Structure 1
Amino acid sequence: MGNDHKHQKVKITTGPFLITEEVGPDIQIGRNLDRLVIILKNPTKKKLKAKITLGVCLQPVLDPQPGWGKRSYRVYDDIPEQDFFLGNHELKPHTCTRIERDIPTDLFGYETSTDERNAVYRVTATGDFNICNQTCDPICGLLEISVVAGSVALFDEAGLEQADPATFFRYKDFVFCEDHDEDHNDDDSDDDD
């Protein structure tokens, strides 16, 4: 059913999703999405590898166009995407790797960091994943991955205090990519950082 992955790396993605400013009510106020957690799991008896990248399109700058008050929708065109390399990871047999990235915010207007609230994220993984030849769906047998974002109580502790279910991507939710983009070269996924 699956592909032969001895020499072939598979590329899969969440597709684009929104990192909202707040999640859920917490005593009448929402909680910021503070952290993105990517989990890799190796359920096999051999070492497996994956390269993880995060694409980010920042919240658009409000630039009212003529007629906005008369339309029931808005379009924000050509928002540039920036890719963040989150590492090449080699997982030993029967282990997990957690990649936790704090979501930069500029809550107080100090302009000390990029504010990624209301940004569009896209997680892409290239590596030893198993894809069904007939459906192109991820299947068990090699690496597995999941993604979730949420809020934290203490930034120096691992994990999330509260997760946003709208940002939860199970392994089966990932989409197989046939890479036709010559500008991106995923051949370096064997390098360790």
Structure 2
Amino acid sequence: MTNDHREQKQVTITTGPIYVAPLGLWVPNDKLIITLKNPTHKKLRAQISLGLCPSPNAPVALSTSVPLSTSVDTFEVNETEINLGSFKVDPMTCLRVEKRFDNYELFDSVIRLTAFGDFEICEDSCEPICGLLEITSVVGFSGYGGGLLTALPAEMAALNQAYYYYSGLLISDPSTFVPYGDWVLCDTHCPCDSSSSSSSSDDHH
């Protein structure tokens, strides 16, 4: 019988802010995919939320006469918090969480993913390590609504219509990919804080 993992405190990790360009490899970025991998023989859990700061400007057709700015520009945008859900990941499985966005919601945006759950954290470095859940994320083009499809061979377009419309990405934007090792612990009390403080204290003796 398989039991849920309850042997250690669940932790919160985050991608930090990710800039999502309007186009990834000349197609619109309109879909987010988060992959959870459970390499253990126990059921593990994670709750995932998305912080979305939309583009400071509505999408418009760019003019070839737009002047170049030599100043430093700043754009402050309010964040919208989106709860993507709580997930139970069965032993030795991969769970994909996919969300497609409409109306240019990811156009020129900044996103930040946060996951709370059964992740293993190294006590020395406070970095995520193997042992429990592993997580990655990427943004790309779903293939929905045309776009690149008009330039694809008929066979590939048919494959997209039959498959990518429902799941996955036709093209991923590599600049948005966050591997598991790049997620950052954001718990208030990091396991390595005490060891760092102890080391610092010892240096002063």
The TM-score with structure 2 as length reference comes to 0.71
Contact 1:49 1:127 in 2 (8 A): yes
The Cα shift of 1:5 comes to 6.4
Residues 118 and 133 of structure 1, relative CA distance in 2, 3 Å threshold: same
Structure number, greater radius of gyration: 2
- Taking only the aligned residue pairs, the percentage that are identical comes to 40
Look up the match of 1:86. 84
Look up the match of 2:7. 6
Task: Tell me the C-alpha RMSD between the 2 structures.
Answer: 2.2
Look up the match of 2:75. 76
State the alpha-carbon separation in 2 of the partners of residues 174 and 48 from structure 1. Answer: 18
State the alpha-carbon separation in 1 of the partners of residues 16 and 90 from structure 2. Answer: 27
1:141 to 112, 125, 131: 131
Q: How many residues align?
A: 158
The TM-score with structure 1 as length reference comes to 0.75
Specify the SS of the correspondent of 2:181. Answer: helix
Aligned letter for 2:127? Answer: D
Look up the match of 1:189. none
State the alpha-carbon separation in 1 of the partners of residues 106 and 131 from structure 2. Answer: 35
Which sits farther off after the overlay, 146-155 or 121-130? Answer: 146-155
The Cα shift of 1:160 comes to 0.6
More helix by share: 2
Contact 1:51 1:127 in 2 (8 A): yes
> Within the alignment, does 1:22 sit opposite 2:20 as a pair?
no
2:107 to 117, 120, 144: 117
- 1:77-119 deviation per Cα after TM superposition (whole angstroms, max 9, x unaligned): 3x2111111110011110111010102225xxxxxxxx33111
Look up the match of 1:160. 169
Look up the match of 2:47. 51
Deviating beyond 3 angstroms after TM superposition, the runs of 4 or more aligned structure 1 residues are none
Unmatched runs of 5 consecutive residues or more in structure 2: 59-67, 145-163, 190-205
1:151 to 115, 125, 141: 141
> Within the alignment, does 1:170 sit opposite 2:158 as a pair?
no
Contact 1:37 1:100 in 2 (8 A): yes
Specify the SS of the correspondent of 2:91. Answer: coil
